[in-house]
Structure 1
């Protein structure tokens, strides 16, 4: 076992920035208005299960189609780069599909809003650099934070205000941009060795 608090914290912050649950509070509030009630526990648990399963099965799926983790990590760094640009510049590059009120807790909340392309790509990218047990702990911690944020989203929005949420999104966008550059630099060297 390679439990490392620094690794857990780094992975937690990367996932927290990619998932951007605080920045998605307006979307959560909007969903709540449309469907009346969101099952925070169900959405959090399903998102966590999707992320852990992808963490374990993602590499096998890649091997099956002949892609190594470093190549995927480089591709993932581009996705993180574009997500960071969305957060910093306030633009939308990825278009969400229409909501289905019957399954709002699962789609689009658990997937793809929480456990979406960005977070799943990030998990495999992180797996190339960090120990598995630290990533799993970071996922569990993120699921707990996601649950708390979903449960208290209306209060958080009132407390932070729209400007506060925008500032948080931009700060995490810059952090994510730096992480994307680091992931790219680390894995591109491996590809050309």
Structure 2
């Protein structure tokens, strides 16, 4: 098996996942959870989200084939999800509202906050365009960053403040919007 490590693919996949996971934008949620339950298990949440993302990267396509959907169709559908996530980030609106988690365990942090529907969709969309080993490196880089953010969420909030977090969220929203358009354009031709 030939390995295709490509720095450009790793950098692009890392940025896409960073924008979709939006861990900096989730700092207020994480802080709220920490205040409610006292302690967040950063290590467990990070490891579980890493396992979920890598497993879905390999098994997700097989699940799609089982139900008769090709990767290109999923990538186009994923581009729509990324598009709406980007709109939420840019406009500061909520199109999809999840129930408030009751405890800050692995379930609300690792799934769906980190490895949620948007992240899993992005992974399969990336799989349609990039080599798997580059996506795995991107997942690992993002998981390390998620761990750092979870560990130092209070410090990040005090340094950036509400306005700083909003600016970062909007910048990554614009990047994610551009990525969604590119993903749509790259995969729509394969459907016809």
5+ residue gaps in structure 2? none
1:144 equivalenced with 2:144 (yes/no): yes
Say which of 33, 48, 67 aligns to 1:31.
Answer: 33
* Contact 1:40-1:105 at 8 Å conserved across structures: no
Unaligned runs of 5+ in 1: none
- Structure 1 residue 48 corresponds to structure 2 residue 53: no
State the TM-score, normalizing by the size of structure 2: 0.98
Note the alpha carbon deviations across 1:65-108, whole angstroms, 9 max, x for none: 0000000000000000000000000000111112122xx23121
Cα distance in 2, alignment partners of residues 115 and 53 from structure 1 = 11
What is the distance in 2 between the residues matched to 1:74 and 1:40?
A: 33
Structure 2 residue 123 is matched with structure 1 residue 123: yes
Distance 2:145 2:43 in 1: 11
Ranges of 4+ aligned residues in structure 1 off by more than 4 Å: none
Give the secondary structure class of the aligned counterpart of 2:95: coil
How far is the alpha carbon of 1:189 from its aligned partner? 1.0
Distance 2:107 2:32 in 1: 14
Q: Quick one: distance in 2 between partners of 1:82 and 1:135? A: 22
Residues matched between the structures, number? 190
Please name the residue that 1:156 is paired with: 156
SS of 1:100 mapped into structure 2: coil
- 1: CA distance, partners of 2:102 / 2:115: 17
Q: Which residue of 2 aligns with 1:97?
A: 99
Partner-residue secondary structure (3-state), 1:97: coil
